[in-house]
Structures are given as C-alpha cells and as structure tokens.
Copies of this chain bind each other. A is one copy, B any other.
Amino acid sequence: MHGEVAPGQAMTLRGIGKEFEVSMTPAREAVRRLVAEGALFLSSSGRVSTPELTGDRIEELAALRALLEVELASRALPRAHMALIDRLQAINGNVTQAVESRDAVAYIRSNLEFHRTLYLRAQAPAMLAMAETVWLQLGPTMRALYGRFRKSEPPHFHRLMIAALKAGDEPGLRLAVRSDVTQGLRMLAG
C-alpha cells in the first residue's frame, strides 16, 4: 500500500516465510488474502507477484477512489470538529516534508494517513475498507509514479479540503477530494 515494493515484483512462498521466520503455511494464507483483495497478482501457474497495472485499470481505480472517497469525505464533514482539522493540518505538514525530501514512501504513507484520518470520521467501516483495498491495489504503481515525476508538488488540494471542512462547504469538499484523488493518477494513466 505504501509503495515499498515495485510493480511486477515476484515473490515465493518459501521466501516470504523465511523473511518473516514462519513456515510456508502462514505465508500462503497472507498471500491468498492479498490476492483476494487484488493487492497481489496470481499467475495461472500459481506464481505470485505485485500487479503491473494497465492505463485503463489505473483510470478505473482512480474513478473508484473518486467515487468512494468523495462519499466518505461528505459523510465525515458534519462530524469534523476543530480537533480533527488540527490533526489534518499536522499530518499535512508531514506530507509537505516528505515532498520536500523526495521520499516517495513517506509521501504516500502520510498522504494516505491524511485521507484515512478524515474518512474515519465518516463512521462507514465497509466503505473505508473498500477505499483501502483500492489503495492496496495502487500501492506499487503509485511508488513508480511518484518516483518518475520528481517535481515537488505542495499538497494544494489538501489545503482546499481543509478550507472546505472549516467552512462546512460540502460541494467544495467534494470537488477538492475528487481533484486530489484524480490529480496524480491522471498523468500516469495517460
């Protein structure tokens, strides 16, 4: 999810087991779960690797992010008090810092933490779980994306989200979330 492993990276059950000092059985179960969530790709011969997403698939996952996260943000809005907004601003500081230090993994991690912190207020666990499933599928690809475009973009849309939260502006929040989610992924898909 955090982009620590590159797209197309292959792995073996015995290798995973050795890495985490367990036998094949727990490694197999973990892998099967991640395959079920779409986070890992299972070849026809049973080999497992991180997925290499096509442009179409990236576009589709971006659309899913937009659908789900706009709804989550909208549901979180009426419950967002000042303490939450303060926390979001603090996390956003970490995002900026990660951007400045060109740390792709730290950027992805803090960016997702920003979103998750907001969405937790939506009180919609199934919806949040689906959003996280999408993040999981996009993880390796996002790493490749932010590794390619090294330009340091400040989290502009995050500030718009915070402003909309403060103002209680629901249409503005929806637009800001949709823009933030779509922004980075549109360029890779094209």
Contacts and interface: CB of A to CB of B under 8 A. Distances in A.
Contacts of A60: 124-127
Interface string A48-88: 00000000010011011001100100000000000000000
Given A28-B29, A33-B32, A37-B36, A57 B126 contact: yes
Nearest to A128: B60
A33 B125 CA distance: 19
Contacts of A57: 125-126
A140 to B, nearest CB: 15
B67 A71 contact: yes
Contact of A36 (B33, B64, B124, B127): B33
Contacts of A34: 36
Nearest to A58: B126
Interface of A: 28-29, 32-38, 57, 60-61, 63-64, 67-68, 71, 124-127, 129-130, 133-134, 137
B36 A36 contact: yes
B127 A64 contact: yes
21 contacts: A28-B29, A29-B29, A29-B32, A32-B32, A32-B36, A33-B33, A33-B35, A34-B36, A36-B37, A37-B37, A38-B129, A57-B125, A60-B124, A60-B125, A60-B127, A63-B71, A63-B127, A67-B68, A126-B134, A130-B130, A130-B133
A84 B29 CA distance: 40
B38 A126 contact: yes
A36 B35 CA distance: 9
Contacts of A35: 33
A130 B63 CA distance: 13
Contacts of A68: 67
9 pairs of A and B residues whose beta carbons are closest in the complex: A36-B36, A33-B36, A60-B126, A29-B32, A60-B124, A67-B67, A36-B37, A32-B33, A32-B32
